[in-house]
Amino acid sequence: MAAKDIPDSESMDHTAAPCPSWRWRNLAVCNLLALVILASWLWQPTRQLWDQIDLATFRLLNEPLSSNPLWARLWAVASMRMTDIAAALILLVVLIKGDWIFAGPRVRSAFFGFVALLALLVVIRVGLFSNVVRLLHWQHPSPSLTVDGAVRLKELFPAWEESWHLKDSSGQSFPGDHGAVLLLWALFLWPAASGAQRLVVAGLTIVFLLPRLVAGAHWVSDVLVGSLFLALLVIGWGAYSPYAAKAGRWLEALAEPVLNRLRKFPGLGRISLISGR
């Protein structure tokens, strides 16, 4: 494609985030879904259903750890901080691989737009939602600390805990921050993806969510209510408003000198994020 044929950020297809203008219907849908999900957790009749799902899911995922040493080792490795870093790198590769989900010339705007969304997530989570959770007493400990007979990975592999830090519990598990980032990533990529790409996005999201649920660091509602509520708010107000596009362009301008230097190294110029192509 010739350079003059490459659409700029103002004329690109706006069905995929980030977009440079308000998309009111998408924004309304994200906010409505977020409120409905949270309301279903707060309303007592449906809260009882959530509690039943929480307990049943935890027992289904956690109990096999006690009877299958190989299975327990697998999830212990998956619960390590180093595995979280490896997962983050995989998510990054999917995001910035040129001409896969995003066309090469759009990778930069997508990457920096997503970074802007992560910043917005921190503001909403730390600056707003955490205070609401505290004031309304929504906080609770994880199932590994409250369910009788829960299998603790730290107790099964104490030496691993000393060296690698296994994430299998939390005194304040609502909402799941790890889950919020994963779901935000999935919601961000979903409109631009299609077919097998969506299968990859959904599969990676589920696989990387499971370790916290299997180990008992979070209830399933911490993710499907708390994390999803946050991700929907951020994707709505961030990606379907001018915020992500404009903040992304600002971040891209800040990073341009570094990217220009990296472009001079052999091989790096082929990476769409660095080359801009």
Amino acid at 55: L
| pLDDT, position 165 | 86
Domain that residue 73 falls in? 21-275
| pLDDT, position 6 | 34
| pLDDT, position 160 | 86
Dihedral-angle region of residue 125 (phi above 0 means left; psi in -120 to 50 means alpha; beta otherwise): alpha
Q: Is residue 150 part of a domain?
A: yes
Run means of pLDDT, 10 residues per run, the chain, 277 residues = 36 54 94 98 96 97 93 94 95 93 91 97 95 95 95 91 86 95 97 94 97 96 98 96 95 91 82 81
| pLDDT, position 2 | 35
Q: What are the backbone angles phi and psi of residue 169, rounded to the nearest 5°?
A: -160, 160
| pLDDT, position 277 | 82
Q: What are the backbone angles phi and psi of residue 59, rounded to the nearest 5°?
A: -65, -40
For residue 226, the SS3 value is helix
Dihedral-angle region of residue 99 (phi above 0 means left; psi in -120 to 50 means alpha; beta otherwise): left
Residue 24, Cβ density class (10 Å: 0-12 exposed, 13-18 middle, ≥19 buried)? exposed
Q: Are 173 and 142 a contacting pair, CB within 8 Å?
A: yes
| pLDDT, position 105 | 87
Tell me the two tokens of residue 1: 């494609």
Q: Report cis status (omega within 30 of 0) of the bond before 175.
A: yes
For residue 110, the SS3 value is helix
Q: Is residue 268 part of a domain?
A: yes
pLDDT in tens, 43-65: 999 999 999 999 999 999 999 99
Q: Is residue 10 part of a domain?
A: no
Distance of CA 26 to the CA centre of its chain: 19
| CA atoms of 60 and 262, how far apart (whole Å) | 48
| CA atoms of 20 and 105, how far apart (whole Å) | 16
User: How many domains is the chain partitioned into structurally?
Assistant: 1
| pLDDT, position 16 | 54
Q: Are 220 and 54 a contacting pair, CB within 8 Å?
A: yes
Q: Is residue 1 part of a domain?
A: no
Q: Is residue 2 part of a domain?
A: no
Distance of CA 126 to the CA centre of its chain: 16
pTM equals 0.91
Q: Is residue 5 part of a domain?
A: no
Dihedral-angle region of residue 80 (phi above 0 means left; psi in -120 to 50 means alpha; beta otherwise): beta
